[in-house]
Structure 1
Amino acid sequence: MRWCPSSVLHLLCCVRLRSCSRRGRNRLPLWTKEILVYMRLLVQSLYFNSLTDSDVVFDSIFEPVFWTVDYVTRWFGLVFVWLVVILTSSIVGIAYGVLLPLIFSTYSPAWIAWHVCYGHWNLVMIAFHYYKATKTSPGYPPTEKHDSPFVSVCKKCIMPKPARTHHCGICNRCILKMDHHCPWLNNCVGHFNHRYFFCFCLSLTLGCAYCSISGRNLFLDAYNALERFKHLDLEKPGIPVTGMGLLIGLLPPGQTNFQTPAPPYTFRDKMIHKSIIYMWVLTSTVAVALGALTIWHAVLISRGETSIERHMNSKEAKRMAKRGRVYRNPFSYGKLNNWKIFLGVEKRSHWVTRVLLPSGHAPLCDGLTWDGFPVKKDIIPV
């Protein structure tokens, strides 16, 4: 067999190109190869899966975005925790350094007792529940063989899941009665710390609303003082009062001497006024935003469901409504009993010792089974 020179040259070029492409491919870092293989698997899953629908396509396309968000949230969780600690500590510092001396000097003894008692109770509730919410494990299903019933198998953990258990992409494991992953806690909100999370939100909302309402007049006075001295340029003592000072009433009635020395406005007064404005703006904003979140979680607790179950139950209710049937949440025991189960109230005294005071008691069940409660479901008329 005779070889044509052009054919031999073509064959050599092909071999060289393949070897160069292989060398170039081998020069890629390992993490780049893993990402390329992962992306190719995502694309292939769209047309190799016989059960592909719009939801699968959407999840596959946005999987890199979800992975990036989970990664960033996982590594920046500690930053959010420190941000909560710093902001809360700044408000407490302003309350002790600025507001408390004003309360002692201007309020009656009854109001002083109220502000001191309520303020310190609110502070203890915030600190206790935030610490417990961040440090308490949300609860994980056992990895070894167990006798508890399970309803499905996690497609990511490849482990059996009990009822109300869901997988958290940020924690990268299944969570018992998962509600959501909270970056401000750097922790998942699940069965064993859900009560701490809600009580922290409620206590912080009450504390911010308390500071916002009680400090409204101080905020207005501080804001007006800053604006007044800003326009009159009276930050340094000895500057003469201009005609504007007479117009806004800084001089006594009948006095028209524009060269009267102005009262001193020190750096300390300026910082006090700015700290009051900072406290009022921050607490008012948090009270509105966190108050809306707290009300939403209170509604979910009354219904006996979590944030994830709310979406699932809504879809199930619509599906059964098309068949002419009514969906009943199997984990709802009635509004009052749902609150008793959530707060761990077993007798009347627990409303004080376990609700109004800091308490580290465990939930009424283990998070694996949900049929052993000491309460009965409310009778729902058919």
Structure 2
Amino acid sequence: MRTRRWIFSAVMRLLLRCLRIGQRHRFWPTQKVWQLWLYGRLCLRSLLYNSFTDSDTALDALFEPVYWLVDHITRWFGVVFVALVIILTSSVVCIVYVCLLPLILRTYPLPWVFWHFIYGHWNLVMIVFHYYMAITTQPGYPPQSKSDIAAVSICRKCIAPKPARTHHCSICNRCVLKMDHHCPWLNNCVGHFNHRYFFSFCLFMTMGCIYSSVSGWDMFWEAYAAIEKMKLLAKERLQVTANQTYGQTPPPTFTFQERAFHKSVVYAWVLCSSVALALGALMIWHTVLITRGETSIERHINRKEKRRLQKKGKVFRNPYSYGPLGNWKVFLGVERKRHWVTRVLLPSTHPPKGSGLNWDTTPYGPEQKTALLAI
């Protein structure tokens, strides 16, 4: 009996020893690598786990270096863009005063001279005024104190209360009230307190460029034909210079003042026409947004909200829209009929309606209210 027990225990000890030796020399490295792989995967998942992660979040993470580069370039080149706008606008104004105005006074009848003088200067004053105000007026920033505002969310970058329709500008590195976008040509954000100045500048600049292009159409073609004639005469002069032995006289040449005049007219017309097309498209887009009672950022948010409600069989309604005419009255600050002249057609520094911290909303469902107040 003892012999059997001893034999059984010896066999078990030998078997366990063999398993330990096999695990140590054969299976141990593979097991350790597998354990390291499981541990690394668990760490990676714990670091990257986010219950709100979706395709948009993944794309934002992938394009984050591009966003960082664009933000820093826009921040540093904003002054350059503003200087470029001032230089180009001043160059066209100088060409009009030096080249075109004397020609208009000599050739146009008195009623047309009076019209160009009044409309041109009114348009120029409106452009300069609204551009200056759009640059120097702050768009509006929410206060840091929680007791001063009805916050609907917390900005994850500022770690501060964020009112409705407020968004964080990565270029200014601040939250902006009713932010529309950051405009590099203004070197400033377009928000609650300077949105009207920005749109008015786009409107009157487009009107001025269209006015210059239409009124200078005949002058442009005359100047363009004169430039082509200058090129042709230059070729003929070279040919005559090469054949001086035949006694040919060189063709007449244009003076420096004539060449500068024709090239300046062509330059001004091409610049005004290009700006009218580009800025006119931007102005039309913002006209549609203002009519709908939304900003550029809210346009994208409202489209997603509209698709989400459509899947549930519900209809989307913008809570900040008061109808087309009502939206324009709120945007322009028109409270009386005379304000269409004193606040729209004339320079005015009146503030917008409201403080940008609280917004009156139109009736809508409770589910849509919760979603849209947090945008």
Shorter-chain TM band = 0.7 to 0.9
**Cα distance in structure 2, aligned partners of 1:97 and 1:260:** 34
Of 293, 297, 300, 2:289 maps to 300
Change in CA separation of 1:311 and 1:263 when aligned onto 2, cut-off 3 Å: same
User: What one-letter code is carried by the residue in structure 1 that aligns with 2:343?
Assistant: R
Change in CA separation of 1:334 and 1:50 when aligned onto 2, cut-off 3 Å: closer
| Alpha-carbon contact 2:82-2:186 (below 8 Å) kept | yes
User: What one-letter code is carried by the residue in structure 2 that aligns with 1:277?
Assistant: V
| Alpha-carbon contact 1:46-1:52 (below 8 Å) kept | no
**Cα distance in structure 2, aligned partners of 1:49 and 1:338:** 39
**Cα distance in structure 1, aligned partners of 2:47 and 2:256:** 66
Q: Which moved more, 1:278-287 or 1:62-71?
A: 62-71
- TM-superposed CA distance for 1:366, in Å, is 0.4
Question: Which residue in 1 is equivalent to 2:273?
Answer: 284
**Cα distance in structure 1, aligned partners of 2:123 and 2:47:** 53
Question: Which residue in 2 is equivalent to 1:91?
Answer: 92
User: What one-letter code is carried by the residue in structure 2 that aligns with 1:325?
Assistant: K
- TM-superposed CA distance for 1:46, in Å, is 6.8
1:331-370 to structure 2, matched below 5 A, reads 331-370=320-359
| Alpha-carbon contact 2:154-2:161 (below 8 Å) kept | yes
| Alpha-carbon contact 1:235-1:265 (below 8 Å) kept | no
| Alpha-carbon contact 1:234-1:265 (below 8 Å) kept | no
Question: Which residue in 2 is equivalent to 1:82?
Answer: 83
User: What one-letter code is carried by the residue in structure 2 that aligns with 1:177?
Assistant: K
Question: Which residue in 1 is equivalent to 2:107?
Answer: 106
Of 281, 300, 310, 1:311 maps to 300
Measured against aligned partners, the alpha-carbon deviations of 1:89-130 in whole angstroms (never above 9, x if no partner) come to 000000000110010000000000000000000000000000
- TM-superposed CA distance for 1:370, in Å, is 1.3
Query: What is the number of residues matched between the two proteins?
Result: 314
**Cα distance in structure 2, aligned partners of 1:101 and 1:45:** 75
- TM-superposed CA distance for 1:45, in Å, is 8.3
- TM-superposed CA distance for 1:44, in Å, is 7.9
Q: What secondary structure, in the 3-state scheme, does the structure 2 residue paired with 1:64 have?
A: helix
Question: Which residue in 1 is equivalent to 2:4?
Answer: none
Could you say which structure has the greater relative contact order, defined with CA pairs below 8 angstroms and 6 or more residues apart? 2
**Cα distance in structure 1, aligned partners of 2:204 and 2:290:** 17
1:150-161 to structure 2, matched below 5 A, reads 150-161=151-162
Q: What secondary structure, in the 3-state scheme, does the structure 2 residue paired with 1:167 have?
A: strand
Q: What secondary structure, in the 3-state scheme, does the structure 2 residue paired with 1:219 have?
A: helix
**Cα distance in structure 2, aligned partners of 1:307 and 1:274:** 39
User: What one-letter code is carried by the residue in structure 2 that aligns with 1:183?
Assistant: P
TM-score when scaled to structure 1? 0.78
Change in CA separation of 1:46 and 1:334 when aligned onto 2, cut-off 3 Å: farther
| Alpha-carbon contact 1:234-1:262 (below 8 Å) kept | no
Question: Which residue in 2 is equivalent to 1:28?
Answer: none
Measured against aligned partners, the alpha-carbon deviations of 1:137-194 in whole angstroms (never above 9, x if no partner) come to 0000001232431211111111111110000000001000000000000000000000
Question: Which residue in 1 is equivalent to 2:180?
Answer: 179
TM-score when scaled to structure 2? 0.80
- TM-superposed CA distance for 1:264, in Å, is 4.5
Q: What secondary structure, in the 3-state scheme, does the structure 2 residue paired with 1:181 have?
A: strand
Change in CA separation of 1:235 and 1:271 when aligned onto 2, cut-off 3 Å: farther
- TM-superposed CA distance for 1:233, in Å, is 1.7
| Alpha-carbon contact 2:233-2:253 (below 8 Å) kept | no
Question: Which residue in 2 is equivalent to 1:190?
Answer: 191
| Alpha-carbon contact 2:165-2:177 (below 8 Å) kept | yes
**Cα distance in structure 1, aligned partners of 2:257 and 2:62:** 56
**Cα distance in structure 1, aligned partners of 2:109 and 2:235:** 33
Q: What secondary structure, in the 3-state scheme, does the structure 2 residue paired with 1:233 have?
A: helix
Measured against aligned partners, the alpha-carbon deviations of 1:2-24 in whole angstroms (never above 9, x if no partner) come to xxxxxxxxxxxxxxxxxxxxxxx
| Alpha-carbon contact 2:236-2:251 (below 8 Å) kept | no
Which runs of 5 or more residues in structure 1 are unaligned? 1-42, 243-257, 378-382
**Cα distance in structure 2, aligned partners of 1:339 and 1:132:** 20
User: What one-letter code is carried by the residue in structure 2 that aligns with 1:232?
Assistant: L
Residue 199 (1) aligns with residue 200 (2): yes
Change in CA separation of 1:44 and 1:159 when aligned onto 2, cut-off 3 Å: farther
Change in CA separation of 1:165 and 1:45 when aligned onto 2, cut-off 3 Å: farther
Question: Which residue in 2 is equivalent to 1:22?
Answer: none
Q: What secondary structure, in the 3-state scheme, does the structure 2 residue paired with 1:188 have?
A: strand
User: What one-letter code is carried by the residue in structure 2 that aligns with 1:171?
Assistant: C
For the pair shown, the structure with the greater C-alpha radius of gyration is: 2
User: What one-letter code is carried by the residue in structure 1 that aligns with 2:279?
Assistant: L
**Cα distance in structure 2, aligned partners of 1:235 and 1:197:** 51
Which runs of 5 or more residues in structure 2 are unaligned? 1-43, 364-375
Change in CA separation of 1:95 and 1:52 when aligned onto 2, cut-off 3 Å: same
Change in CA separation of 1:44 and 1:269 when aligned onto 2, cut-off 3 Å: farther
Question: Which residue in 1 is equivalent to 2:227?
Answer: 226
User: What one-letter code is carried by the residue in structure 1 that aligns with 2:292?
Assistant: R
Question: Which residue in 1 is equivalent to 2:31?
Answer: none
Change in CA separation of 1:44 and 1:176 when aligned onto 2, cut-off 3 Å: farther
